[in-house]
Amino acid sequence: MEHNLPGAADQAAFLVDLSNVVRERSLGGPAARSLHRFRLVVEALGRLTGDPDVPVYPVADKSLLGEAREFADPGDVRTLRRWINSGLVEQAGDADQRILELMELTSAAHTRAVTNDRFGAYRRVFPWIQGNTDRFLKPVAGPSGTVRLIPLHMGTRTEAEISRSDELAAFKKQELLKSSGQPLTRVVNRFWRCPEPRCTVYDPRGGRVLLPRMLGGVPSCEVHRLALADAGPRPAMAQLKAMIHGVCKGRYTVEEGSQTGVGRNPVNGIVLYSLLPSDVAGRVSREHVVVSAQSGILLVRDVSRCGTRMRTAGRRGRMGPWKDLPPGQDRPFGPGDEVELAPGVLLTRSGRRFPAELAAAWRTEGTRRPTPTAASQPTALD
């Protein structure tokens, strides 16, 4: 087995997402974690390539050895520890990211990765994942206890799906996901205050509203490691983006209970004037649509001279047909939906619905003029 492990990514034909393989129960054995599954994958790579000595470079999360008792065979733990200590297996804080980095570094050699992960949270950083069909292999159970490898088609995620993945990754980082994968709403829907008097990390007036970090099940201050005090409900918010010819030129947050005009130059609202290409600026009304957030639902209303079209996102991000918005009537504006003010000028609702959106930034942005730099800046959570 060890002759398959060169201990260097650039000498390997395949990277293996080791934690993902070791934890995959469908590959054989009832244990939560089993190194045998990795051996089966290496055998499958040997058959696939016709080379029983095929060189493989496994990357494991630090957490793989963390709960050693999940391995039914204590020998697995000893072997894995030895492989890590001798550099045959690389350990990484974030194995997903490390595998993608190594794939980028070895792209000339077309090094492939064995995984069952579609890396939804990484598509912004590694855009080449989008639509890829030839660099990822998925291990599946084969006949009589073997493993087969099949191409993993990565598919193309829509902007709304990518935003949703970003959101989940941000929650995961703060340990704000339940084991079901749902966010801990009792924590994320509240404001929090640090008992350290000078601490402003969680002060909603500070301009950046961080989510608490969970320490031992208690919402805690990232900086002072102290338990935070509940500071009341956090208003729900939605994020809007101005897309000009397919490029995001501005991001805006809309708060619960608010009503906001969007157009070329509305009296009090989202001003698109500086973003609009000259050929279409005249087709966008001074106030074109009104977006309002009521009881957690976002609505959009056409108030323009020339009309507005909208299409809604269906399941799996598939877009419905364009339809004219009936003038003066509120329509639900869901995540992924697109509102077209003029050809090439879209208002979209991002998948992000969580409170990391900077309420205060919105409030303090007196003119509410979009700034392209602010649009490209990471949020407080990133």
Contact residues for Zn ion (CB under 5 A)?
194, 196, 199, 221, 223-224
Nearest Cα residue to 310 out of 336, 279, 273: 336
Looking at the Cβ atoms of 199 and 248, the one nearer to Zn ion is 199
SS3 for 68? helix
**Phi, psi for residue 255 in degrees, rounded to 5:** -95, 155
Nearest Cα residue to 297 out of 236, 370, 341: 236
Looking at the Cβ atoms of 199 and 215, the one nearer to Zn ion is 199
Q: Rounded to an integer, what distance in angstroms lies between the CA atom of residue 319 and that of residue 298?
A: 18
Looking at the Cβ atoms of 183 and 212, the one nearer to Zn ion is 212
- Could you count the other beta carbons within 10 Å of the beta carbon of residue 31? 17
Q: Smallest distance from the beta carbon of 201 to Zn ion, in angstroms?
A: 5
Q: Smallest distance from the beta carbon of 224 to Zn ion, in angstroms?
A: 4
Q: Smallest distance from the beta carbon of 255 to Zn ion, in angstroms?
A: 25
Q: Smallest distance from the beta carbon of 228 to Zn ion, in angstroms?
A: 8
Looking at the Cβ atoms of 207 and 334, the one nearer to Zn ion is 207
Q: Which residues of 263-277 are buried (b: 16+ CB within 10 A; e: fewer)?
A: bbebeebbbbeebbe
Q: CB–CB of 262/288 below 8 Å?
A: yes
Token pair 């990390």 in the structure block, residue:
201
Looking at the Cβ atoms of 36 and 193, the one nearer to Zn ion is 193
Q: Smallest distance from the beta carbon of 229 to Zn ion, in angstroms?
A: 11
Q: Smallest distance from the beta carbon of 222 to Zn ion, in angstroms?
A: 7
Q: Smallest distance from the beta carbon of 200 to Zn ion, in angstroms?
A: 8
Q: Which helix (H) or strand (E) holds 160?
A: helix 159-173
Looking at the Cβ atoms of 224 and 309, the one nearer to Zn ion is 224
Q: Which two structure tokens, joined as six digits, stand for 345?
A: 């000028």
Structure-derived torsion over alpha carbons of residues 119, 121, 127, 133, reported in degrees to the nearest 10: 20
Looking at the Cβ atoms of 177 and 199, the one nearer to Zn ion is 199
How many C-alpha atoms does 123 have within 13 Å on its Cβ side? 23
Q: Which two structure tokens, joined as six digits, stand for 151?
A: 């191409």
Q: Which two structure tokens, joined as six digits, stand for 291?
A: 């977006």
